[in-house]
Amino acid sequence: MFGQSLFAWREGKTEFREAQPEYAPYKRYVEKMLLPIVICTDVYRMVGYMHLTYHHRALDVLNGPEAFIPVTNVQIYNISTGELFAEQEFVAISKDQITILYETGLPILPEYKASEAGAEGSEPQSQPGSAAPKQ
Q: For the segment 59-113, what is each residue's pLDDT rounded down to a tens digit? A: 999 999 999 999 999 999 999 999 999 999 999 999 999 999 999 988 888 764 4
Domain locations along the chain: 29-103
In 26-99 the beta strands, taken as DSSP E runs, fall at 32-40, 44-53, 68-78, 84-94
**Nearest Cα to Cα of residue 79 among 37, 36, 38, 41:** 41
Q: For the segment 32-60, what is each residue's pLDDT rounded down to a tens digit? A: 899 999 999 999 999 999 999 888 889 99
- Fold adopted by 29-103: SH3 type barrels. (2.30.30)
